[in-house]
Structure 1
Amino acid sequence: MSSSNIAAAEAQMLIRKPVSAVYKALTDPAITTKFWFTKSSGKLQEGKTVTWEWEMYGARAEVRVRELLQDRKISIAWGDPATIVDFEFMAVTEDSCYLKIRNYGFVESGDALLSVIKDSTGGFTLLIAGLKAYLEHGIQLNLVGDKYPEEVRKLNL
């Protein structure tokens, strides 16, 4: 079965920056920490595993880099059990990139599958929105940290 025929979470958006800048922002943690995770053990390199951390949540993920195609695709495996996340980059003009993120390989079924797809879609939508704001306007929106801020977690909402 091809990956296009299985349940997947997707998020996509136009980013008004060259594809090379968008690709670099997702492979270089010095940039990625401005809009997604807070800490990384290193840059993405094909065949390597890095650790990403979201310190505000005490969360971390081991990320295995499956494939890097410069300015075209990043494919990683993460989670337990691992799912695949593909970041696809398409130059629309020389100054704009259409980024599509696809997460698939879920083992859940029924309502549990719907829940993980919903959560993944929402998370990757926040990622793209934060990336867009940072690259296009230099603004750090803190979308990931504000999704479940400590003050709200204390209220058990």
Structure 2
Amino acid sequence: MALKSLKKKRRIQIVALAAVALVISTGLIGYAMRDGINFFRSPSQVTDAPPAPNEVFRIGGLVEEGSLERGQGMQIRFRVTDGGASVPVVYSGVLPDLFEENQGMVGTGSFVNGTFEATEILAKHDETYMPKEVVDALKEQGVYQEPGS
């Protein structure tokens, strides 16, 4: 009888220890991923509810025609639009080869003092591809055109 209760007690301890380990590992994974999860926002969402300056997120839309300016060094300024609103973007670095006005783009960075400060810029990589989030944002504003039309 004493042996049975000892085994039962040991089994409960192992199950409890496993549950605690699972909770701790889940918490550590979530903590480690918090910086790797970047939410997508359209220019309209950014202007309607500006995110905090320390929040890293992705913005996407079309590069507004006539807005591309090359500054000193490698600094580039342009505006990204979804047809409903446009947001000024500043980026220091080399732009993708396919980056041009009236083309789709996605940028990663933060919104500081009314300007999106990009740390990474991606351009659509062929005539038919555009990220789903960008297409959805453009459709919402009624400015998306199917490729080839």
Alignment TM-score, normalising by the size of structure 2: 0.32
**Higher strand residue share:** 1
Answer 1 or 2: higher relative contact order, Cα 8 Å, separation at least 6: 1
Considering only CA atoms, is the larger Rg found in Structure 1 or Structure 2?
2
**Higher helix residue share:** 1
